[in-house]
Amino acid sequence: LAKTTQPISMDSYEGQEVNITCSHNNIATNDYITWYQQFPSQGPRFIIQGYKTKVTNEVASLFIPADRKSSTLSLPRVSLSDTAVYYCLVGYNNNDMRFGAGTRLTVKP
Amino acid sequence: NAGVTQTPKFQVLKTGQSMTLQCAQDMNHEYMSWYRQDPGMGLRLIHYSVGAGITDQGEVPNGYNVSRSTTEDFPLRLLSAAPSQTSVYFCASSPGIGRYEQYFGPGTRLTVT
């Protein structure tokens, strides 16, 4: 059964690095892993996407081990404005896209 | 570009009523989808479409119908509303499936009493 699992919540302080891990044991061979950020009363917004190894953009890094059964979103030096819910999205069997339940990140001053 | 638009923003229905949630995108994306978001459960895929005239079921399709007559529009129909359908509904579009970023609309908050 396809299932995407991530921690319910995390706390951090401004300036720290935050790592959020998502487990996806049944990921399909050709599917990508995508992370989204969501603020209250808004739709999710794309952060980063990867297939394997490491991907980095201007806001985050994504680490994917060789077996691809998990992935880790890394947010460097978080600020108060990074307080949001973060979702990983994994494709299972091509069209069966499964979001995790979301990780609520709270950044404290 | 307006991106992905959804109407209405809020809606209250009585049990048994029907209604259509509207979704439109102006990015010429082939893939469109509907999700519902419930507390503690993330977003769950209801229906999706890979192009005009083609639709398929997602994880939680029961009680909902969709059609895709044009590339731009992807309405979601509730046939006979039930309290269990109280949720926030998001429409999304992308150039394709899987390796493409999805663009989400602002959501429709639906309450069924």
- Cα A39 to Cα A54: distance, rounded to the nearest angstrom: 26
Residue B3 CB neighbour total at 10 angstroms: 14
Tens of pLDDT, residue by residue over B60-69, are 999 999 999 9
Residue A41 lies in domain: 9-108
Q: Is residue A63 part of a domain?
A: yes
> Are residues A30 and B98, on separate chains, in Cβ contact within 8 Å?
yes
- Cα A84 to Cα A44: distance, rounded to the nearest angstrom: 10
- How many separate domains does chain A show? 1
Q: In chain A, which residues have their Cβ closer than 8 Å to the Cβ of B92?
A: 43
Q: Is residue A57 part of a domain?
A: yes
Calculate how close chain A gets to B89, using CA atoms only, in Å: 9
Q: Is residue A75 part of a domain?
A: yes
Q: For residue A80, give the CATH number of its domain.
A: 2.60.40.10
Tokens of B39: 């507390």
Task: Indicate the SS3 state at residue B72.
Answer: coil
* Segment holding A63, helix H or strand E: strand A61-64
Q: Judge whether residue A1 has pLDDT over 80.
A: no
Tens of pLDDT, residue by residue over A21-59, are 999 988 888 888 999 999 998 999 999 999 999 999 999
Contact of A100 with chain B, judged by CB distance below 8 Å, is answered with yes
- Residue of chain B minimizing CA distance to A46: B101
Q: Is residue A3 part of a domain?
A: no
Mean pLDDT by 10 residues, chain B (113 residues): 92 97 96 92 91 93 96 97 97 85 95 97
Mean pLDDT of chain B: 94
Contact of A81 with chain B, judged by CB distance below 8 Å, is answered with no
Q: Is residue A86 part of a domain?
A: yes
Distances (CA, A) of B17 to A94, B13, B20, B74, B111: 34, 6, 11, 20, 12
